[in-house]
Structure formats: C-alpha cells, structure tokens
Amino acid sequence: MAKLAVNVDHVATLREARGINYPEPVAAAVAAETAGADGIVVHLREDRRHINERDVRLLKKIVQSKLILEMAATSEMLGIALDIKPECVTLVPETKKELTTEGGLDLITHENHIREAVTTLKNGGIAVCIFIDPDLDQIKVAHKIDADMIEIHTGAFCDAPTAAQKQREFFRIVDAAKIGTKLKLEVNAGHGICYNTIKAFKGLAEISEFSIGHSIVARAILTGMEQAVRDMKQLISGL
Ligand code: PXP
C-alpha cells in the first residue's frame, strides 16, 4: 500500500490569517499521525507566509513518523535543514507571487545548482527528494544528480479542465512513474490530489507515497483531522 504524507501548511495559514498562536500545526501533525499518516510535510517558505522555523523545530521533536521539509535550494534553507535535520527534504521551486508551488523544479536549467544542494543535504544525512514535472528528461537528470526520490507533480492532472486533458496528463504521470522506478528512484506524487482524484491512481503500484495537504486540511475543518486522514488512507488502501 502506498504511504500518505500529510502536509499541514494550511493549518499555519489559518493561524497567520489572524496573526495569533492557533490553530497549532504541531497539534494537527499529531492528530494526522494518530490516524495513520506515514509522514508530516511542511513547506518553509522564504516569506514565512505559513510555516515558520519554530514550527519546523517543534515538529522535528514531536513527529514520530518522518518529517519532510519542502524548501527552495537556497543557502538560507540549506543551513536550516542541516541544523534541524528532517528525515527528508523535498526541493521545490519557489517564487514570491505564487499562491502555491506552480510546477516542478527545472533540473535541465538548474542542474549544477541542484546537484550541489543534493550533495550537501545527503552529506548531512538527509534523504533528498526532487519535486519534478512528469517529464522524462527531467527525471533522467534527477537520477544523474543522485537524488534519492522524485515527487511527480500531479497538479496539471488534478486541475485539467477536460477529460481528454486529464487523460493526457495522467499518461504522463504513468510514464514518469515507470521511468523513475526503472532508474531506481523512489517515486512519490503530490499536488492538487483530493478525495476524488486519488482514485485515478488505482493500479499504479510504482508510486510509493502521496503528499497531500489542501484537501485533507479542508476536510478536517468539517470532520476533524483524524477522520480526514482516515478517509484518505482508506481510499489509498483501495488503489
Ligand atoms: N507536494 C509539493 C511539492 C507541494 O509544494 C505541495 C503544496 O505545498 C503539495 C505536495 C501538496 O499539495 P496540496 O496542498 O495541493 O495537496
């Protein structure tokens, strides 16, 4: 069964909307783990719009499964990661104006820079995943620069406006998952996945882990975090 890593950024988004000290992303992480989350994900952004350094430090102490830190490959973030030592770092592109991560890292353009970041993190004992579009050339570079894992960007599939586009995007994900596995990369997937789109992944055994945030936190507002995570785990168990 594929694993589920739960992204709790948007618990912090709600906290920051008021500029006060609740809701607490660490409490959400504990509830997610109680319901069977296999990992907790947070994205520490340069602008600290939701998660901050204090959250990452506390999560490192509290999380029992594994802490996955999403971050840009900047010297500031590399320093923080090497200090806090999450179990895994997922390298993502980051721009100031985006509402959320908009696409995978362009490894063809940034190969040397990302290779250096991968080496630095791995030398620090941190497993490295690269968030990447379902593009074969990009995946080959991820392998070449010695990443441990890739996370295939599923946003274009999840957000596709027509059935035909959805199908086209899904085939790209299938091809990417198969080539990643062939290259002995661990293959994860994430972005935009909800309680409906997850069902499309039935039979795609190459995917080891799904990274899901928005849809789970959105459901948690109505059902509670534990129930929201259990519901997603149940759907994943049927894939
Ligand atoms: N994976 C990556 C690399 C992301 O940047 C995000 C969003 O923070 C997610 C997964 C989760 O996406 P969503 O919130 O749409 O489930």
**What pLDDT score was predicted for residue 97?**
76
Judge if the beta carbon of residue 5 lies within 6 A of ligand 1: no
Q: Determine the residue of 3, 14, 101 to mutate for testing ligand 1's pocket, defined as the one with the most ligand atoms within 8 A of the Cβ atom.
A: 101
**Residue 103: which pLDDT band, with cuts at 50, 70 and 90?**
confident
**What pLDDT score was predicted for residue 95?**
80
Judge if the beta carbon of residue 131 lies within 6 A of ligand 1: yes
Q: pTM (2 decimals)?
A: 0.97
Residue with the smallest CA separation from ligand 1 atom 5 is 101
CA of 115 to the centre of ligand 1 (A): 22
**Residue 13: which pLDDT band, with cuts at 50, 70 and 90?**
very high
Residue spans of the domains in the chain: they are: 3-237
Domain 3-237 has CATH 3.30.930.10: no
CA of 191 to the centre of ligand 1 (A): 4
**What pLDDT score was predicted for residue 121?**
98
CA of 227 to the centre of ligand 1 (A): 20
For residue range 43-76, list pLDDT tens digits in order: 999 999 999 999 999 999 999 999 999 999 999 9
The CA distance from 11 to 126, in Å, is 25
The answer to whether 50 is a known catalytic residue is no
According to DSSP, the residues that pair with 90 across neighbouring strands are: 70, 129
The answer to whether 191 is a known catalytic residue is yes
**What pLDDT score was predicted for residue 84?**
98
Compute the average pLDDT of residues 114-128. 98
**What pLDDT score was predicted for residue 101?**
73
For residue range 145-190, list pLDDT tens digits in order: 999 999 999 999 999 999 999 999 999 999 999 999 999 999 999 9
The CA distance from 186 to 151, in Å, is 8
- For the cut 80, the answer to whether the pLDDT of residue 102 exceeds it is no
Cβ distance 75 to 113 under 8 Å? no
Q: Which has the closest alpha carbon to 2: 224, 141, 161, 154? A: 154
Mean pLDDT score across all residues of the chain: 97
Looking at the chain, the whole-number percentage of residues with pLDDT higher than 70 is: 100
Judge if the beta carbon of residue 39 lies within 6 A of ligand 1: no
Catalytic residue among 70, 151, 169, 209: 70
**What pLDDT score was predicted for residue 133?**
97
Compute the average pLDDT of residues 193-214. 97
The answer to whether 43 is a known catalytic residue is yes
Q: Determine the residue of 13, 70, 77, 209 to mutate for testing ligand 1's pocket, defined as the one with the most ligand atoms within 8 A of the Cβ atom.
A: 70
**Residue 1: which pLDDT band, with cuts at 50, 70 and 90?**
very high
Burial class (CB in 10 A: 0-12, 13-18, 19+), 160: middle
Cα of 59 vs its chain's centroid, Å: 16
Judge if the beta carbon of residue 50 lies within 6 A of ligand 1: no
Q: Which has the closest alpha carbon to 69: 58, 57, 81, 61? A: 81
Judge if the beta carbon of residue 197 lies within 6 A of ligand 1: no
